[in-house]
């Protein structure tokens, strides 16, 4: 039940809008992957980060995907954010092995979706006694592409400062084959996540168009001031790149504190008519030197979810969580969006 199968011959620009119509107007995106993998016992102290589990414990990735589906997620994002061919080469893998691991990230997510549909078929109720949501619905698998800074694993995805030696062509060369492999792996769309600067957004847009990538994509930027992306580039300029690329079907913000989202949605709406995707982090601060999150700097699930109605009223139509959010966060978002859909439906009754 992907974008293509759900919508037949509908042109790329309409695919996301058709999906949103099918799920009631607003879609739930999943939450943090790495935090949940660690909770299940994974050791992610590695430059590959959550991609390490593609090698060591794919069953844990599958379980986390399933946890999010049972929390109500309509879109699950693959464990490929930090999975790059160059990163796997530096670990001693061949190029072919690296490409196989990229494909595996999509296969694992698709397996989780299949397992979920099987559970739905076996259950007569939409919600189980333990709170699991088992509801037949369109579910998308989004293949994650992290930034060049994520590959460097030095925190530069949170600054967007790659230095003067990194050009548009450097970034296109870095990402090109990875995007091609993921696009041909069975995913419904590509999630270009935590984009820290305008240059990388331009590189992605050119790859999508020049390489004739067959599946759509979303662009999601990160901000630390609510006005610009983390590099200091204007969110207006960055969102304009997404707006002008026909293969991009949604644009938004991830891995950004919830308190900044309102202003960023308003800015994106000034330059884009595409669906807006919002999946902030918990609001906690990340220490790139210690490579850990600073405790007690975020917001509670209750506070996080209290923002959701406001974001949707402003125009967000895809909402989830990023770092340090959990299936509990996503379940609360699911309930909030379900209540909004029910209220909207009731308002249409004579």
Task: Please state, in angstroms and rounded to a whole number, the distance separating the CA atoms of residues 181 and 78.
Answer: 13
Task: Please state, in angstroms and rounded to a whole number, the distance separating the CA atoms of residues 237 and 193.
Answer: 17
Q: Do 277 and 243 meet the contact criterion of CB atoms below 8 Å apart?
A: no
Q: Do 130 and 120 meet the contact criterion of CB atoms below 8 Å apart?
A: no
Sheet holding 276-279, edge to edge: 27-28, 316-319, 276-279, 248-254, 217-221, 189-195, 140-145, 75-77
Find out whether 255 is annotated in a ligand binding site. Answer: yes
- Return the structure tokens found at 189: 């769309």
- Residue 145: strand pairing partners: 192
CA distances in angstroms from 153 to 44, 47, 199, 288, 290, listed in the order given: 12, 6, 19, 9, 12
Residue 195: name the closest of 158, 169, 227 by CA: 158
Find out whether 322 is annotated in a ligand binding site. Answer: yes
In the DSSP assignment, the letter for residue 123 is -
Task: Please state, in angstroms and rounded to a whole number, the distance separating the CA atoms of residues 75 and 83.
Answer: 19
Q: Do 147 and 194 meet the contact criterion of CB atoms below 8 Å apart?
A: yes
Cα 102-104-110 angle, rounded to 5 deg: 120
Write out the binding residues: 255, 322-323
Write out the binding residues for Zn(2+): 255, 322-323
């Amino acid at each position: 039940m992907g974008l293509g199968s759900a919508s037949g011959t509908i042109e790329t620009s309409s695919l996301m809008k058709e999906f949103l119509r099918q799920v009631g107007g607003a879609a739930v995106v999943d939450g943090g992957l790495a935090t949940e993998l660690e909770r299940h016992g994974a050791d992610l102290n590695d430059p590959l980060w959550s991609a390490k589990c593609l090698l060591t414990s794919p069953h844990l990735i599958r379980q986390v995907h399933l946890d999010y589906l049972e929390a109500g997620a309509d879109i699950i994002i693959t464990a490929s954010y930090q999975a790059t061919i160059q990163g796997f080469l530096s670990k001693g893998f061949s190029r072919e092995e690296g490409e196989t691991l990229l494909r595996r990230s999509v296969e694992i997510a698709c397996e989780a979706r299949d397992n979920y549909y099987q559970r739905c078929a076996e259950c007569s109720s939409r919600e189980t006694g333990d709170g699991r949501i088992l509801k037949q619905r369109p579910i998308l698998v989004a293949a994650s592409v992290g930034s060049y800074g994520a590959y460097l694993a030095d925190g530069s995805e949170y600054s967007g400062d790659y230095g003067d030696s990194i050009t548009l062509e450097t970034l296109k060369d870095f990402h090109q084959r990875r995007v091609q492999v993921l696009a041909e792996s069975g995913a419904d769309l590509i999630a270009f996540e935590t984009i820290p600067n305008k240059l990388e957004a331009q590189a992605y847009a050119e790859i999508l168009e020049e390489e004739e990538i067959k599946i759509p994509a979303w662009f999601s930027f990160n901000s630390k001031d609510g006005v610009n992306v983390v590099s200091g580039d204007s969110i207006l300029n960055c969102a304009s790149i997404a707006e002008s690329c026909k293969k991009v079907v949604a644009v938004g913000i991830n891995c950004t504190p919830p308190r900044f989202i309102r202003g960023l949605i308003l800015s994106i709406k000034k330059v884009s008519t595409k669906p807006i995707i919002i999946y902030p982090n918990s609001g906690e601060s990340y220490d790139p030197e210690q490579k850990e999150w600073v405790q007690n700097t975020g917001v509670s699930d209750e506070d996080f979810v209290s923002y959701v109605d406001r974001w949707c009223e402003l125009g967000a139509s895809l909402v989830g969580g990023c770092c340090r959010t959990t299936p509990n966060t996503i379940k609360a978002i699911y309930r909030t969006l379900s209540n909004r859909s029910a209220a909207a439906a009731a308002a249409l009754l004579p």
